[in-house]
Amino acid sequence: MKGYLIDLDGTLYRGNEPIPHAAAFIANLHRNQLPYLLVTNNSSRTSEQVSLHLAELGIDVPPGFIYTSSQAAAQYLLEHPENPERSEYAERRRVAVIGETGLKTALEAAGFELTEDNPETLVQGIDRDFTYAKLTAAVNHLRAGALYVLTNPDHMLPSGPGFMPGAGSLAAAITTASGVQPVIIGKPSPIIMNYAIRKLGLAASDVWVIGDNADTDIKGGELAGCKTALVLTGVATSDNVKEQLSRAGVQPHLICKDLHEFSLEVFGNSYRPPSSL
């Protein structure tokens, strides 16, 4: 029995376009009741919003099969109530947030109080309304001893024909100004990978990590002790794959043109994708 941790952007879709064979691949996992989670560094959407977005692209995944860096950040705070800088707090329940709906929702669902008033923790993700005032407040929280948790370290994200800065670029400003380094939750951090593996209820060596990014998906999978498969449908392509792997210093177990090729490799000739997809 194997489980699957699957990336979203560049693996199942690109922006608003589904990637060929993605819907069939997911439908096959469901049909055969194979354990899987979609694991995303994107903290901006809730798992319900991700599920709706996938449905619009013809990919049927219930919210419970989606695990975001926001949910993993909330889980990390639940499991690490101590803050060495602020030992007067037995429980860190007060959290300042720089982020969007997905992050705020995940923290509130886990029972944290979102506040700018003397928070014990600063949790930061992508925030497309980031301002100088937010930067200033964040730096002052950290200088007062708040623990700094970063949902994901991505510097840049694909956006339309170009790119846009990710959570990691905002973190660079906060880190430079405060001198405080964050705890990183998202891929390639083993924190999100280990929580996801635990949710599957499998040993890491029985889990395939599948994604398009050598730096995050493959590195994260390697660090967590999983099997790794790089698909050439997003950041990595047939043109740049060698360079991407050598820069990331990783070697996936499989390099596949797409999810159909992965399925043939792993499920063999018995793989029959649902014909309607």
Contact positions vs Mg ion (CB under 5 A) = 7, 9-10, 212-213, 234
Closest residue to Mg ion, based on beta-carbon distance? 10
Check if the beta carbon of residue 246 is closer than 8 Å to that of residue 238. Answer: no
Catalytic residue among 9, 154, 212, 217: 9
Q: Residue 156 forms beta bridges with which residues?
A: 165
Tell the smallest beta-carbon distance from residue 21 to Mg ion (Å). Answer: 16
* Apex 171 CA angle, 168 and 175, nearest 5: 140
Tell the smallest beta-carbon distance from residue 41 to Mg ion (Å). Answer: 8
Closest CA to 7 of 19, 130, 16: 19
Residue placing its CB nearer to Mg ion in the complex, 28 or 42: 42
Q: In which residue are the tokens 């064979």 written?
A: 21
Residue placing its CB nearer to Mg ion in the complex, 212 or 215: 212
Q: In which residue are the tokens 């999983």 written?
A: 226
The tokens for 211 are 């994604």
Tell the smallest beta-carbon distance from residue 275 to Mg ion (Å). Answer: 28
Is residue 239 flagged as an active site residue?
Answer: no
Catalytic residue among 7, 154, 212, 217: 7
Residue placing its CB nearer to Mg ion in the complex, 122 or 255: 255
Residue placing its CB nearer to Mg ion in the complex, 47 or 121: 47
Tell the smallest beta-carbon distance from residue 30 to Mg ion (Å). Answer: 21
Residue placing its CB nearer to Mg ion in the complex, 120 or 215: 215
Q: What is the DSSP string of 141-188?
A: HHHTT-EEEES---SEEEETTEEEE-HHHHHHHHHHHH--PPEE-STT
Is residue 206 flagged as an active site residue?
Answer: no
Distance CA 123, CA 138 (A): 9
Tell the smallest beta-carbon distance from residue 211 to Mg ion (Å). Answer: 5
The tokens for 105 are 């929702």
Question: Any idea which residues carry the catalytic annotation?
Answer: 7, 9
